[in-house]
Amino acid sequence: MAPLDPLLTWLAGRGLEIALIVLGSVLLARFVTWVGAKITDRIDARATGGDALVRSEAAKHRHSLTQVITWTLVVLVYAIAVFAVLDRAGIPIGGLVAPATVLGVGLGFGAQRIVGDVLAGFFIITERQYGFGDVVSITVVGGADPAEGTIEDVTLRVTRLRSPNGEVITLPNGQIVKVVNLSRDWARAVVDVPVPTTLDVSRVNDILKEVGAEAFRDQRLRPLLLDPPSVMGVETLDLDQVNVRMVARTLPGKQFEVGRDLRARIVLAFHRAGLNVPAPTATSPSGDLSPSSDGAR
């Protein structure tokens, strides 16, 4: 009997089974990932209509839920494959219970943050706080400035978003303390117009109302507006100027485009009326003559 006969026998028997299990698990995991990608692509194609920002809340939730289910199934496939390989290799799984318990306790103390991330991700998805395609502003523990951008991926452990500058930001779900959703159901463009106190505020209100009416009649801008822009009146009062606020309800994610358009229209209307918009003496929370955006709450 040759020295390599036992090894060849093992390779032809259990070794082949182990190789098939590993290969099968890899192929199955890739198949699950492929199916998940196809489902999310179909959801996006039906919901967006060519716009990655405007989609229904149900579509956002289905997209995020599909990604989480895909990730869970892949982990489950590999976990089952590991146990099957240990069994075929002749390693008693029962004998690993005690060491695994000790190891689990040690990892439990060190993996508290990971467990917190997973639990936080579970509640983010089930409560539909935000989903794929939402425009959000997220504040994390210890972060001075919030992370702002469009959600690209939500898993049980992390949230990934792309900033307006094209940067990809990855945030652990357990570190998120505040989320401002700028694209939930509807959004609002807010424009504060600085006006000298020497001008007639009633005349300024009439000009802004006419600007809002013209914007609502515009065939290009009308699809983005849910109702005609309205003039709220004087918002703040300084020594030499007042800020007159104008607001417009828009489709989710379109408040920035609408705000820029309204600002340009206001400047042109003021010039036609022979009025000049002064330089701001103080910065208001939303910025003078610039849109600030509030998601519906």
Determine the distance from the C-alpha atom of residue 99 to the mean position of all C-alpha atoms in its chain, rounded to a whole number.
41
pLDDT (tens digit per residue) in 73-88:
888 888 888 888 887 7
* pLDDT value of residue 112: 72
**Token pair recorded at residue 175:** 């570190």
pLDDT exceeds 50 at position 46:
yes
Count of Cβ atoms closer than 10 Å to residue 90 Cβ:
8
* pLDDT value of residue 103: 63
- Spatial contact of 161 and 147, defined as CB atoms under 8 Å apart: yes
Distances in Å between the Cα of 293 and the Cα atoms of 73, 95, 162, 289, 290 are 38, 59, 18, 13, 10
CA–CA gap between residue 276 and residue 286 (Å, rounded): 20
pLDDT (tens digit per residue) in 264-279:
999 999 988 887 765 5
pLDDT (tens digit per residue) in 103-113:
666 666 666 77
Percentage of the chain exceeding pLDDT 70: 76
Q: 262: pLDDT confidence band, cut at 50, 70 and 90?
A: very high
* pLDDT value of residue 156: 82
CA–CA gap between residue 217 and residue 209 (Å, rounded): 12
CA–CA gap between residue 182 and residue 159 (Å, rounded): 16
**Token pair recorded at residue 17:** 């089974």
pLDDT exceeds 80 at position 99:
no
Which one is predicted more confidently, 99 or 257? 257
Q: What is the pTM of this model?
A: 0.51
pLDDT (tens digit per residue) in 121-145:
888 888 888 887 788 899 998 877 8
**Token pair recorded at residue 181:** 């959703």
- Spatial contact of 180 and 160, defined as CB atoms under 8 Å apart: no
SS3 226: coil
Which strand (E) or helix (H) includes residue 71?
Answer: helix 57-88
**Token pair recorded at residue 11:** 């390779």
For the chain, give the mean pLDDT: 78
SS3 27: helix
* pLDDT value of residue 60: 65
